[in-house]
């Protein structure tokens, strides 16, 4: 895909996120890893402070591995460090989405980990979704704690902040944050009804292993 194609895809993803209630206004951010140019790693990321309803493809910013803008009308997202740290840490990650969705956000605010409660969640997300320790937004400390808690899964809750989902491409990252919100909602409602019964350990372990094989990730760690 060309840079222009990626920019259009990111804008379309932002509209899908807003329609799905996973972001509002200009909250959250989306990025995609671009094909490297020689030794230079490049990424496309949403601009800071631009409402999704008026976001234009030309405002999507191309940045390098240091977060410096290479091309684009806007300023790169203030959360670019979390995205860049994910890309640097996980070679399998080619898209990142940071959301401010309601139910995942509620778990993050309560510092409650999302256990493996439904089969499709484990297959899509890789297992339990941890809560990263709180740090001031837009800092390397936040980025480091977020990616540490992410581990080899596809999503992490950011305490008092929101959530981060990753994927092998933009479509998968979208599916991840949508599954995270759906699973968080199911878990939240189930807790209102009584004691939640997570998946049997042997089942969640088997499904997590299947997830890692599918993603080419180490089976341990």
Task: Tell me if 195 is assigned to some domain.
Answer: yes
Residue appearing with tokens 């991840």? 176
Both tokens of 1, joined, read 């895909």
Question: Tell me: the pLDDT tens digits for 12-38?
Answer: 999 999 999 999 999 999 999 998 877
Q: How far apart are CA 171 and CA 164, in angstroms?
A: 15
pTM equals 0.96
What number is the average pLDDT over the span 86-113?
97
What number is the average pLDDT over the span 78-92?
97
Q: How far apart are CA 18 and CA 195, in angstroms?
A: 32
| pLDDT bucket at 219, cuts 50 / 70 / 90 | confident
Percent of the chain predicted with pLDDT > 70? 100
- Tell me: pLDDT of 221 over 80: no
- Tell me: pLDDT of 163 over 90: yes
CB 79 within 8 A of CB 138: yes
What number is the average pLDDT over the span 80-94?
97
What number is the average pLDDT over the span 189-214?
94
Residues known to be catalytic: 79
Output the pLDDT for position 38: 78
Task: Tell me if 27 is assigned to some domain.
Answer: yes
| pLDDT bucket at 177, cuts 50 / 70 / 90 | very high
- Tell me: pLDDT of 77 over 80: yes
Task: Tell me if 221 is assigned to some domain.
Answer: no
| Domain count across the chain | 1
Output the pLDDT for position 72: 87
Task: Tell me if 220 is assigned to some domain.
Answer: no
CATH classification of the domain holding 125: 3.40.225.10
Quick one: 45 exposed, middle or buried, by C-beta within 10 A (0-12, 13-18, 19+)?
A: buried
Residue 111 belongs to domain spanning: 3-215
C-alpha distances in angstroms, 168 versus 94, 127, 141, 153, 154? 5, 17, 25, 12, 10
Task: Tell me if 166 is assigned to some domain.
Answer: yes
- Reduced to 3 states (helix: H, G, I; strand: E, B; else coil), residue 98 is strand
What number is the average pLDDT over the span 212-218?
91
What number is the average pLDDT over the span 107-114?
98
């Amino acid at each position: 895909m060309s840079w222009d194609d990626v920019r259009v895809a990111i804008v379309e993803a932002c509209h899908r996120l807003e329609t799905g209630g996973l972001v509002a206004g200009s909250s959250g951010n989306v990025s995609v890893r671009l094909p490297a140019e020689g030794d230079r790693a490049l990424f496309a990321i949403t601009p800071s402070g631009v409402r999704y309803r008026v976001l234009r493809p030309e405002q999507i910013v191309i940045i390098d591995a240091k977060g410096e803008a290479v091309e684009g009308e806007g300023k790169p997202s203030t959360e670019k460090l979390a995205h860049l740290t994910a890309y640097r840490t996980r070679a399998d990650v080619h898209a990142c989405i940071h959301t401010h969705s309601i139910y995942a956000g509620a778990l993050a605010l309560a510092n409650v980990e999302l256990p493996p409660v439904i089969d499709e969640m484990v297959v899509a997300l890789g297992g339990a979704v941890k809560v990263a320790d709180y740090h001031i937004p837009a800092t390397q400390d936040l980025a480091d704690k977020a990616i540490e808690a992410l581990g080899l899964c596809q999503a992490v809750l950011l305490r008092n902040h929101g959530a981060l989902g990753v994927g092998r491409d933009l479509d998968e990252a979208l599916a991840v944050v949508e599954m995270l919100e759906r699973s968080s909602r199911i878990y939240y409602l189930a807790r209102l009804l009584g004691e939640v019964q997570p998946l049997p350990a042997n089942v969640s372990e088997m499904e997590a292993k299947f997830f890692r094989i599918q993603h080419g990730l180490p089976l341990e760690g």
